[in-house]
């Protein structure tokens, strides 16, 4: 567990932004990468998550990886994390290919100086999801829950964890509905079954809060997940439920305005010893601006959770006497 001497201060704490707001740019010239990354830096970020819907570092040549390194250095961004999404290593059709891609992604992350790679077990969106206004309002693929599927997930994720450890990278497993990482209980159990110090959880509970169906209690999930977490995708939603009518609605919201309390969740995380980076995400509208707002909110909540806010208020009050 972290202590005040070992955890970052609220200002030092790494808070990255996902590259979700930007178009796929795998084959774009490096100057386009600089353009996108400069927008990120202009919003005040010093860390970035190289989300692979923007660029797939695992599919770049060594020369292009070097171009990406230079682009990041040009704008002063630290690629603290790389998130590989919808590349499940237990996908019934693409699992083998996704495993190979995941290994390439780990090597690319190491070459870029990235500290954490986040993998999940969610699969590509189905046609109905791609056509929906919000993709989470339609049902997506569902993982089998038999013993053989569980064993395959443990084996393959442990293999990736060992590879990551060899090159000095941490692995984080992203929570997502209807996968083996779809509940707090199964996610924590999967981390424990993998049993490697460099493999932790990415408790992206926003993926669950937005579902148009009953969900598990957010704060209880935070309490269960954060002790084994090493990275945290965060986002929020306005959520409304009419359980008698069976009606559930959710839409994106800034973290301080959504239907769950990140003030309480961040305090719980700090008390549990969490010291990993945050990654702010937002769907719809100007996602980058909302993400920047969320990052400022997180720093305030970290100051509250670590006691820095209290100390600052007391010093100011004392000086005013």
Nearest to 121 by CA among 228, 204, 215: 204
The answer to whether residues 143 and 90 touch, using CB atoms and an 8 Å cutoff, is: yes
208-267 pLDDT, tens digit each: 999 999 999 999 999 999 999 999 999 999 999 999 999 999 999 999 999 999 999 999
Whether 129 is in a domain gets the answer yes
- Given a cut of 50, whether residue 170 has pLDDT beyond it is yes
Q: How many domains does the chain have?
A: 1
Residue 259 lies in a domain: yes
Q: What is the CATH number of the domain that holds 259?
A: 3.20.20.150
Place of tokens 């699969």: 123
pLDDT confidence tier of residue 174, bands split at 50, 70 and 90: very high
* Residue 206, domain extent: 15-320
Does a structural domain hold residue 9?
no
Of all helices (H) and strands (E), which one includes residue 123?
none
What confidence score (pLDDT) does residue 34 get?
98
Quick check: is 8 in a domain? no
* pLDDT digits 0-9 by tens, 40-94: 999 999 999 999 999 999 999 999 999 999 999 999 999 999 999 999 999 999 9
- pTM across the whole model: 0.96
Q: How confident is the model at residue 6, as a pLDDT? A: 80
Is there a domain that residue 2 lies in?
no
Quote the strand ranges of 189-301, DSSP E.
199-202, 232-234, 236-242, 247-253, 278-280
In a domain, 284, yes or no: yes
């Amino acid at each position: 567990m972290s202590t005040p001497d070992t955890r970052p201060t609220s200002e030092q704490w790494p808070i990255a932004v996902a590259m979700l707001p930007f178009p796929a740019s795998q084959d774009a010239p490096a100057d386009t990468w600089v353009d996108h990354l400069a927008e990120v830096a202009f919003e005040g970020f010093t860390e970035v998550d190289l989300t692979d819907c923007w660029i797939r570092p695992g599919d770049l040549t060594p020369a292009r990886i070097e171009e990406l390194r230079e682009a990041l250095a040009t704008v002063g961004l630290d690629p603290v994390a790389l998130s590989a999404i919808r590349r499940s290593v237990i996908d019934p059709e693409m699992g083998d290919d996704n495993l190979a891609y995941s290994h390439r992604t780990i090597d690319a992350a190491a070459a870029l100086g990235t500290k954490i790679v986040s993998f999940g077990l969610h699969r590509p969106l189905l046609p109905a999801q791609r056509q929906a206004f919000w993709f989470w309002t339609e049902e997506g693929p569902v993982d089998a829950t038999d013993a053989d599927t569980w064993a395959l997930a443990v084996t393959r994720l442990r293999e990736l964890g060992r590879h990551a450890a060899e090159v000095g990278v941490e692995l984080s497993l992203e929570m997502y509905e209807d996968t083996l990482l779809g509940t707090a209980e199964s996610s924590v159990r999967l981390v424990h079954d993998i049993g490697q110090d460099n493999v932790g959880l990415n408790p992206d509970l926003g993926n669950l809060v937005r579902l148009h169906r009953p969900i598990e209690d957010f704060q209880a999930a935070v309490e269960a997940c954060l002790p084994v977490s090493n990275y945290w995708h965060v986002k929020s939603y306005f959520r409304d439920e009419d359980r008698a009518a069976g009606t559930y609605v959710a839409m994106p919201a800034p973290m301080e305005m959504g239907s769950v309390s990140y003030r309480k969740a961040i305090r719980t995380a700090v008390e549990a010893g969490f010291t990993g980076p945050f990654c702010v995400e937002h769907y719809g509208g100007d996602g980058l601006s909302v993400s920047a707002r969320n990052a400022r909110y997180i720093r305030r909540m970290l100051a509250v959770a670590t006691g820095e806010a209290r100390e600052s208020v007391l010093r100011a009050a004392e000086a005013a006497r």
